[in-house]
Structure 1
Amino acid sequence: MAKSEYNLNAVNQRLKAAKTKVSIKQRGGSLSMVATLPPKSGSDRPNPYRQVIALHLPASENGFKRAEQEARLLGARLAAREFDWSLYQDDSSDRDLAAKLVERFKQHYMSTHTPTEATWENQWQKIYKRLPQDKPLDAATLVNLVRQTKRNSRNRKQTCQKFQKLADFAGLKVDLLQFQGDYGGSKVEDRDIPIDEAIVQFRANVTNPAWRWVYGMMAAYGLRDHEVFFCEFTSDGLRVTQGKTGPRLVFTALYPEWVEQWELTEVELPPVRLDRGYEYLSGLTSKAFKRYGIPFVPYDLRHAFAVRASVKFGYPISTAAALMGHSPETHLRTYQRHINQQQHLETSKRILGSSDRPKPPDA
């Protein structure tokens, strides 16, 4: 959206077009919301009437941007009959404290997206906890906290993105995305992927039957560590019911023999809370691997599956990617790096030794 569209007239026109029963009012250099609201506690007026809620926002581009967000949120609450004066009667000196801003941003985000409470805690609140909760939010604090994270890391990238969302909501003029670096799939560190013989060997270390089932499912089906807790066997194969990239069908195991040998169709999940979010489940799985002396991390089983699909089974990239629940581009960028020279040699020998390999033309 063009910057010129964040002014009093443009914002109110959009609010009217969206049938949001709230408008923005400018008095001097400050912005407020105007709407028909229930009487405040202690009022002698029996019915709702037009009232003003001060936003304490400047009449600037970022101020109008956040004012529009606040107006849409207020309109949604009024439409759902969930308006509560306690959300708008903070002492003006407290409204811009980090803790207050985060709480209002959470309410706005939850009203426009559909995350679970666990997702908010694990992906958003864990970053916002780094803020000085009892101090006003300012750009310098955000920049300083970003610079305390490791460059070109996942933590740096997530911190920049989450803080930028909060800054935009607060009307702060700061560009944090310039610091996020170039972390991504191409920056995934090289891994020492376990060979299949080692995967079989170390499975015996896992003495707890439930965690041994988790280990086997990740090895045989290439599941993400949290997906193991959300899957079921069907007549078409293993179905992942939810996870990072949504539901999918994993129509075969690699190797199919592991399913029978390890009795994987006999589902036995560890006693964990499934409502705590994917990161919580991933963390429990990592701790279990360490507890049983597994010399690699859970995700290495998924990487081994990717290599096995391409090298030993010769699956096309698109099919291997579909099995694993991501795009062919992601498969190439993230997993093909782990197929070393010896594995390429094995693939070449297998293809050339096949009876139906291409033959040269007759002389």
Structure 2
Amino acid sequence: MGASLTPFAPVNARISPRFPPAALASPPWLRNLSRAFKGHRLGRPGWYIEQHRDRLRVLSAELPPRPGEAPGAAKNRSLTLNTPPGPLNAAAALAEACSVFDNCMAGTWSWPDPAAPRDSDDPTRLQADHLERLVAQLRTALVGEQMGARTWQRTWEPYLGRLVAAAAVSPAGEDAALLSAYLRQWEPNSRARQMGYDRARRLWKEAAWPWSQDLTSMRGSGRAAANPAGVRGFSDGEIQQLRERIMASFRLSPGDLLAWDVLAAFGLRPQELIGLELKASGDAAPLAVVHRSKRSSKGTTRPRQVVAVSPRDWPPDCHHLLRRWWEHGLPEWSQRLASPGQHMTQQLRRLHMPADLTAYGLRHAYALRLGLDLGLHVREAAELMGHSPQVHLATYGRQLDGPALQAKVQQMVAARAVQ
């Protein structure tokens, strides 16, 4: 191959003749790939590489006509490459594109025969070793471009590992049989089954295999598995009990108690302890400045300031929260661990708190105080908590609307009795 990828490329590298301005927004690896492909062609015009959705493709009028295409139709044809996009795959994509160009120039390249057996018709592709290679290919396509390595290890690798294990234990000749056995490892309508379903479907998309629509019903609905009573939050009595057990514990420090009090007073996510600042406000209640951002498919939260809304029996200064902040500070683990919430939930188990309580239970209690005690509008409460009004309604709407609805009906019944 006569060209190699260069570490840098000019900003105005041209990717496609149809969209010249788009080159300015193209990632560096794609501009480098286009430049290296041009170098291999020794400047021969009319050949381009572009990213279309989640695939790479070569465009040129010199690609031979497709089977059945009318002769003499001089136009750019596109060939989708087998190599997925991404900086880690750029060298392989360049080799594939150069091979297509060289064979076209030699007159030996032809379109794949549509009547030839497809990979999706080969039952051996569902064997564990083949799926394992496909998982590695998917990891290369996603990590670095759409997610970090840690996200892959925590939320993708365990599910796809179970799929590979299912294929090794009970090799199936059909997609539906293998996937059905794989999904039945989790309870119906559970979040785990939904995630397993989504991960497997993304793997099938990576391989360009058809997905059986008969499996759709197996994904289930998270709403069907939701607790009718709503999310489980700490009661004021349980918060007091937690404080007493932490203070009586020989293993937990004043910093640990401070971390729990901060979650109770400000309704933060445990990860928002990282980089947190506390400062005094105009009155006795302290103010939290959250710097940690949460990234998800729905967007990214911005830094925000949160006013303390403590349980009813707490003093206005939240048990000398600011003074303890200056004296002790948060514990070291709250700034070092990638998942402080998991560590705090383990502390709950060691303190023998109810098994259905987690660190997020203090956040749920804060949300209910905003709505039931203060009567804040959903939009205002969502702004303080750092999520959208839609998320707030979906999570807390049933518990917030229930008491008001019951009081309204009771008033209407009493008015009817007077009449």
TM class by shorter chain equals 0.5 to 0.7
Which deviates more from structure 2 when the two are superposed, residues 280-289 or residues 170-179? 170-179
What is the Cα deviation at residue 343 of structure 1?
7.6
State the partner residue of 1:78.
Answer: 91
Judge conservation of contact 2:274–2:334 (CA < 8 Å) in 1: no
1:249 aligns with 2:304: yes
Residues 286, 298 of structure 1: 8 Å contact kept: yes
User: Is contact 1:239-1:247 (8 Å) kept?
Assistant: no
Q: Does 1:97 find its partner at 2:147? A: no
Task: Kindly provide the amino acid, as one letter, of the partner of residue 143 in structure 1.
Answer: S
User: Counterpart in 2 of 1:360?
Assistant: none
CA distance in 1, matches of 2:189, 2:371: 29
Tell me what 2:175 maps to.
139
Aligned to 2:239: 199
Report the CA distance between 1:123 and its aligned residue: 1.0
- Displacement of 1:274 in angstroms is 5.9
1:169 aligns with 2:228: no
TM-score normalised to the size of structure 2?
0.56
C-alpha change, 1:15 and 1:129, in structure 2 (3 Å) is: farther
Question: Who is 1:182 aligned against?
Answer: 221
Asked whether 1:327 is paired with 2:388, we answer yes
Change (3 A) 1:155 1:243: farther
Aligned partners of 2:18 and 2:196: how far apart in 1?
Answer: 31
* Distance in 1 (alpha carbons) for counterparts of 2:383 and 2:259: 21
Amino acid at match of 1:162: R
1:22-66 deviation digits (Å, cap 9, x = unpaired): 89xxxxxxxxxxx7999xxxxxxxxxxxxxxxxxxxxxxxxxxx9
Out of 123, 128, 141, the position equivalent to 1:108 is: 141
Shift of 1:282: 2.6
Out of 233, 250, 269, which is 2:278 matched to?
233
Contact 2:83 2:89 (8 Å CA) reproduced: no
**AA matched with 1:120:** W
Corresponding letter in the other structure for 2:270: D
CA apart distance, 1:347: 11
* RMSD of aligned Cα (Å): 4.5
TM-score, normalising length from structure 1? 0.64
Q: Which residue of 2 aligns with 1:221?
A: 266
> How far is 1:144 from its partner?
1.8
Q: Which moved more, 1:232-241 or 1:320-329?
A: 232-241
Amino acid at match of 1:124: W
Matches within 5 A, 1:56-71: 68=81, 70-71=83-84
Name stretches of at least 5 consecutive residues in structure 2 with no aligned partner. 1-15, 24-29, 41-78, 97-123, 282-286, 295-299, 410-419
Q: Could you tell me which runs of 5 or more consecutive residues in structure 1 were left unpaired when the two chains were aligned.
A: 1-11, 24-34, 39-65, 84-91, 349-363
User: Matches of 1:174 and 1:13 in 2, distance apart?
Assistant: 35
Equivalent position of 1:157 in the other structure: 194
Mean CA deviation greater in 123-132 or 195-204: 195-204
Say if 2:327 is the partner of 1:294.
Answer: no
1:121 corresponds to 2:126: no
Moved more, 267-276 or 284-293: 267-276
User: Aligned letter for 1:265?
Assistant: W
Of structures 1 and 2, the larger Rg is shown by 2
